[in-house]
Amino acid sequence: MKISLGLIVLAAATTLVRGADVPPAAGTPAPDFSLSSQEGTPVSLHDFKGKWVVLYFYPKDMTQGCTIEAHNFQRDLAQYQQKDAVILGVSVDSVDSHKEFCSKESLSFKLLADTNKEVTKEYGSLAANNMVAARNTFLIDPNGVIRKVYEKVKPQQHSEEVLAELGTLKR
């Protein structure tokens, strides 16, 4: 009996740990959070109630793929604003790194520093190496519900994909 109970406890613990690696599903409430932006000011998801939120996780400031993805979101920012949507980028880099990245690349949307990796984990977006964020995006509706989850995003065309989906969902 002890072995069976031990195996049950081990299986339950494994499921709980594995569950943290799984992104929240479309149709579920988006977990709220508060992280510091590149300006050093706290930004919370609930600050954007009533707006669409594109919450994107990316590996590292000033790397090729992340720069392409950020540039494309910046390029399309006016289209997002027309759709009453905000862009929030999250990585495990520091506020200072985000500030430098925004300055160097002329980014005007918020980049959020998750240096303790808690929000990244909560969104199932910590890369397998546990060092950086995986390239995942969550499209969150004005009521705080996740409407679309993108995993293993390709940076080149991602902004266009999100804009197209946002156009479909807003009809």
Instruction: Give catalytic residues, as residue numbers.
Output: 66
Please list the alpha-helical segments (H only) found in the chain. 2-19, 64-75, 77-82, 95-105, 118-122, 158-169
Amino acid identity for residue 121 in this structure:
K
Residue environment code for 2-18, b if the CB has 16+ CB neighbours within 10 A, otherwise e: eeeeeeeeeeeeeeeee
The CA distance from 115 to 41, in Å, is 15
Kind of pairing between the strands at 110-113 and 85-91:
parallel
